[in-house]
Structure 1
């Protein structure tokens, strides 16, 4: 069973739309946004803290359990199409088994 991970760089609404899309794909039973383990590396005492050029769009990490490689491919294609429509960046990371079977 391929475990897919993706990072969405966009708003909370964009991440929610992608999560909703993932949940609607046949065969997908598990979609979870996982917490960022290294939030806000900006030091509050830094002279650049809070400046607009330091902050950027939010990053959202999402994990998806796909039952097979064909469904994983459908997930990737659907997410890429929606990300294009939403004008957001999506980066895919998946376990080694899924890459080996492509």
Structure 2
């Protein structure tokens, strides 16, 4: 099974909409938001904690599993189109990392 990991900078609602659109694609076995283990430096003791610039869309890590590379390619095309249409930040993780 082929995997694709995407990091989104988006609201919860936009992330759910993107996941639903990808899940509806033929060849995609599963799509889910997974636990993000990357630290985001949101220290509550920081002098800038709670400032308006610190409040915004969250970061979400999404895992797509497909039966083959064609399914992943479709998922990536839909993710890119949705990211553009919904003004979502999208980063695709390189599987060789």
Whole-angstrom distance in 2 between the partners of 1:46 and 1:93: 29
Checking the alignment, whether the CA contact within 8 Å between 1:7 and 1:60 is kept in structure 2 is yes
TM-score by length of 1: 0.83
Q: Give the alignment of 1:1-102 within 5 angstroms.
A: 1-38=1-38, 41-96=41-96
Q: How many residues align?
A: 96
**Cα offset for 1:57?**
1.8
Q: Which has the higher strand share?
A: 2
Larger radius of gyration: 1
RMSD: 1.6
Whole-angstrom distance in 2 between the partners of 1:13 and 1:20: 11
List gaps (5 residues or longer) in structure 2. Answer: none
TM-score by length of 2: 0.86
After alignment, is 31-40 or 8-17 more displaced?
31-40
Give the direction of change, closer, same or farther, for the CA distance of 1:45–1:12 in structure 2 (3 Å limit): same
Deviant stretches of 4+, over 4 Å: none
